[in-house]
A and B are shown apart, each in its own frame.
Chain A
Amino acid sequence: MPVRPHTGLIIDGFTLGEKLHTGGFATIWGVTHPDHAMPMVMKVPTILDGYDGPTIVGFEVEQMIMPRLAGPHVPHVIGIGGFDVMPYIVTEMIQGGSFLKTFQAAPLPLSDVIEIAARMVDAVADLHRQHVIHLDLKPENFLQRTTGEMVLVDYGLSRHDQLPDLLAEEFTIPMGTFPFIAPEQYLRCRDDLRSDLFALGAMLYALATGRNPWGTPETLRGVRKRLWRDPEPPRAIRPEIPEWLQEIILRALVIDPMQRYQTAAQMAFDLGHPQQVKLTARAHKLRQDGWLQVWDRWRIMRKIRRFTAPKSVAAQLASVPVIVVAVDLSPEGERLARTLRTAVQRMLTIQPDARIACVNVIKTARMGIDQGTDDQGNNLHVVRLVQLKVWADSIDLPDHRLTYTVLDGPNPAQAILDYATANHVDHILLGARGHSTARRYLGSVSAQVVAEAHCSVTVIRLPEGPHGNAIGATATG
């Protein structure tokens, strides 16, 4: 590297200001550029004289991956410099700063833990959707925007599954951060997005309890222990942690990736629907497994060389979709609701691992006060929830993969769209009522959902006769 970074250096139009941070492998500088008004930072790898393979390859990986990423959860890349003069990556400066300080204040109030967890999982879900597994999730690598979104940084160990993996054969030891590294990553697997979910679980554990699940190991031997030893249950350390939160944390920390959450979207879904998290023995557990159980696991795990990884990130996301079914529970929608249910059942035969979220929208007035109760004084939400459960009764899915939510809002389509975005939904199923003039001009719920959804939408209609009327039923407006 012929040029070394220093304050005042001008390279490709960027002027280096103050050095903001010195890390193990890189320095971070504030930079300005006449063509870019926004605050920016430049990351420059610290390349030692002579051979410094790991740093160089890690930086090459970042240079490959980062320009391909987009959206609020990744830093926007402005410039990249080659190794011939001085390697660098210039990105926007994330104003909210690092999440590390918050993390160091753990244990946090539980409401904060839950809120932060949701934002962290959202960021990871977004990265996975872009075919990237981070593989080095730790508090330092989460920055926060002033608008609240978490931004993931440092892609030096990451894997983009549509790009060559320059790191694959480069190193013979596992790479990652010891307190958060997943068992399969310890076994040198770099293709499993569930490794990131494990790291999330380990961080949530720490946020909630103030300790890392396996302490702070300094040797690989210490890391290896997590292949058989279970962490102390969070509720044993802090009894006010709700059972559902312990369920989520421990489920993310299961040794075998097949038994863990399968996607970040699933984890986000549970964080967003605490009352519908299925509680298993994990949720109630108050002490670590006994020595006999641990010894049994040790006998199996000490011989294990690898866990099965998914075919690709996209294939893994597609195999466990979240499907929202928007059900119209009004009397005139009854026939359509039945047809919709059949469609859901059919869909489950081709996507048996899907998670079905049944929603119903209570339309509220745009202004004024809405009554939450009907004429008889029954709570409308509760009434609808009961109806929704009755509707879904014949859908054959285990409880935790079938959820019910009653939404409300003046614009039902918008309520469905917002719910879909917030819950990383892959597919929306809903019925469309007949064609009437009013519907054509005023717009229908299904038309708006189809037009504006960021995911696939399937619209179910009743079979129609030749004159546009639903057979055996009158088309309603």
Chain B
Amino acid sequence: MRFAILTDIHANREAFQAVLDDARAHRADRIVMLGDIVGYGPDPGWCCDTAARLAGEGALCVQGNHDAVASGAVDGMSTLARRAMDWTRTRLTEAQRQFLSALPLTATVEDILFVHASANDPGAWSYVTSDTRAAPSFRATTARLIFCGHTHVPLLASEDANGMVREQGLRADMTIPLLRSRRWLAVVGAVGQPRDGVAQAGWALLDTATNELSFRRTPYDVQCTSDKLRAAGLPEALALRLLKGK
């Protein structure tokens, strides 16, 4: 089985579509979305409908913090996120809001756990930014592979047989054998709003047959998305962030 793992789509239609096309080109069998379908970006409705359609076709989708607040109370968000969220809410239909609010916090397939943020308390939306911060996730589950998002920056960590968790350096285009002697946690970079300085959609391809993971980057029409952001009157900082990828 080849899983295309997408996260933090953030209402970026161009990036979402580009990744779906790229995933098909790489013969992905199943799409997994790790939450934050909406928020920040200019196309929340389209992204919601697409996620819902994919879910109907067998894709997995878990809830992110932006998805949760899109249908509930806005609190604990940065000013920028809150301004975008106020706008987002006016754009969503009741059905779309319901789809987002009904999403589960986690999904499990065999020995793989999918979650938006740190797995130890998924609804607390803690950021996994280092090996120290990855450790609680390993302690909270017996899953061999944990995939999450939320930070918008790719990261790979593994826990060895002695429970020592270490971050592993990443280079673009690495295909990583997920040794069975360890457990692994991957923060998949963001599709719709990368923050690691690369203005390309980030996602990951997991091949369970070969037991290999690759972090991928897919170029998309960044200019188009940022023009839409500006046209919608959303904060200029959001457009700049897409253009720079950070």
Chain A residues close to B by CB (< 8 Å): 51, 53, 56-57, 60, 63-64, 67, 82-84, 87, 161-166, 168-170, 312
Contact B179 A60 (CB under 8 A): yes
- Whether A163 contacts B176 in the complex (CB less than 8 A), given A60-B182, A87-B181, A169-B166, comes out as yes
Contact A63 B160 (CB under 8 A): no
> Distance (Å) between the CB of B3 and the closest chain A CB?
20
Contact among B161, B169, B173 for A56, CB-based, below 8 A: B161
> Distance (Å) between the CB of A268 and the closest chain B CB?
28
Contact B170 A164 (CB under 8 A): yes
- Whether A164 contacts B180 in the complex (CB less than 8 A), given A51-B162, A56-B160, comes out as no
Q: Which of A60, A67, A170 has the most CB of B within 10 A?
A: A60
Judged by a CB distance under 8 angstroms, whether B156 is at the interface is yes
Contact A56 B168 (CB under 8 A): no
Q: How far does the alpha carbon of A441 sit from the alpha carbon of B184 in the complex, in Å?
A: 58
16 contacts between A and B (CB under 8 A): A53-B162, A56-B181, A57-B160, A63-B181, A67-B177, A82-B181, A83-B161, A83-B181, A161-B171, A162-B173, A162-B174, A164-B170, A164-B174, A164-B176, A165-B169, A169-B166
A-B interface, 5 closest residue pairs, ranked by CB to CB distance from nearest:
A164-B168, A83-B181, A82-B180, A64-B177, A162-B174
Q: Which residues of B contact A63 (CB under 8 A)?
A: 177, 179, 181
Contact among B161, B174, B180, B181 for A163, CB-based, below 8 A: B174
Contact A60 B174 (CB under 8 A): no
Q: How far does the alpha carbon of A288 sit from the alpha carbon of B161 in the complex, in Å?
A: 49
Chain B residues close to A by CB (< 8 Å): 156, 158, 160-162, 166, 168-171, 173-177, 179-182
Known: A164-B168, A169-B166, A170-B166. 9 other contacts (CB 8 A): A53-B160, A60-B179, A63-B179, A82-B181, A162-B174, A163-B177, A164-B156, A166-B158, A312-B171
**B171: nearest chain-A partner, CB-CB:** A162
Q: Which residues of A contact B182 (CB under 8 A)?
A: 60
Q: How far does the alpha carbon of A166 sit from the alpha carbon of B182 in the complex, in Å?
A: 11
Q: Which residues of A contact B161 (CB under 8 A)?
A: 56, 83
Q: Which residues of A contact B169 (CB under 8 A)?
A: 164-165, 168
**B179: nearest chain-A partner, CB-CB:** A60
Contact among B160, B170, B171, B179 for A64, CB-based, below 8 A: B179
> Distance (Å) between the CB of B132 and the closest chain A CB?
13
Q: Which of B168, B169, B171, B179 has the most CB of A within 10 A?
A: B179
Main secondary structure, interface of B, reads loop
Q: How far does the alpha carbon of A179 sit from the alpha carbon of B161 in the complex, in Å?
A: 32
> Distance (Å) between the CB of A25 and the closest chain B CB?
16
Q: How far does the alpha carbon of A87 sit from the alpha carbon of B180 in the complex, in Å?
A: 10
Q: Which residues of B contact A163 (CB under 8 A)?
A: 174, 176-177
> Distance (Å) between the CB of B137 and the closest chain A CB?
18
Q: Which residues of B contact A83 (CB under 8 A)?
A: 161, 180-181
Q: Which residues of A contact B179 (CB under 8 A)?
A: 60, 63-64
Q: How far does the alpha carbon of A60 sit from the alpha carbon of B173 in the complex, in Å?
A: 21
Q: Which residues of A contact B166 (CB under 8 A)?
A: 166, 169-170
Q: Which of A84, A161, A165, A166 has the most CB of B within 10 A?
A: A166
Q: Which residues of A contact B158 (CB under 8 A)?
A: 164, 166
Q: Which of A64, A82, A84, A164 has the most CB of B within 10 A?
A: A164
Q: Which residues of B contact A67 (CB under 8 A)?
A: 177
- Whether A166 contacts B168 in the complex (CB less than 8 A), given A60-B182, A83-B180, A83-B181, comes out as yes
**B173: nearest chain-A partner, CB-CB:** A162
**A81: nearest chain-B partner, CB-CB:** B180
Q: Which residues of A contact B174 (CB under 8 A)?
A: 162-164
Q: How far does the alpha carbon of A9 sit from the alpha carbon of B205 in the complex, in Å?
A: 37
Q: Which residues of B contact A60 (CB under 8 A)?
A: 179, 181-182
**A61: nearest chain-B partner, CB-CB:** B179
**B170: nearest chain-A partner, CB-CB:** A164
Q: How far does the alpha carbon of A60 sit from the alpha carbon of B181 in the complex, in Å?
A: 8
Q: How far does the alpha carbon of A65 sit from the alpha carbon of B43 in the complex, in Å?
A: 43
Q: How far does the alpha carbon of A64 sit from the alpha carbon of B174 in the complex, in Å?
A: 13
Q: Which residues of B contact A56 (CB under 8 A)?
A: 160-161, 181
**B157: nearest chain-A partner, CB-CB:** A164
Q: Which residues of A contact B171 (CB under 8 A)?
A: 161-162, 312
Q: How far does the alpha carbon of A117 sit from the alpha carbon of B162 in the complex, in Å?
A: 42
**A53: nearest chain-B partner, CB-CB:** B162
> Distance (Å) between the CB of A269 and the closest chain B CB?
29
Q: How far does the alpha carbon of A53 sit from the alpha carbon of B166 in the complex, in Å?
A: 13
> Distance (Å) between the CB of B143 and the closest chain A CB?
16
Q: How far does the alpha carbon of A6 sit from the alpha carbon of B229 in the complex, in Å?
A: 67
Q: How far does the alpha carbon of A164 sit from the alpha carbon of B171 in the complex, in Å?
A: 8
Q: How far does the alpha carbon of A56 sit from the alpha carbon of B179 in the complex, in Å?
A: 12
Contact B168 A165 (CB under 8 A): yes
**A312: nearest chain-B partner, CB-CB:** B171
Q: How far does the alpha carbon of A269 sit from the alpha carbon of B180 in the complex, in Å?
A: 42
Q: How far does the alpha carbon of A64 sit from the alpha carbon of B171 in the complex, in Å?
A: 16
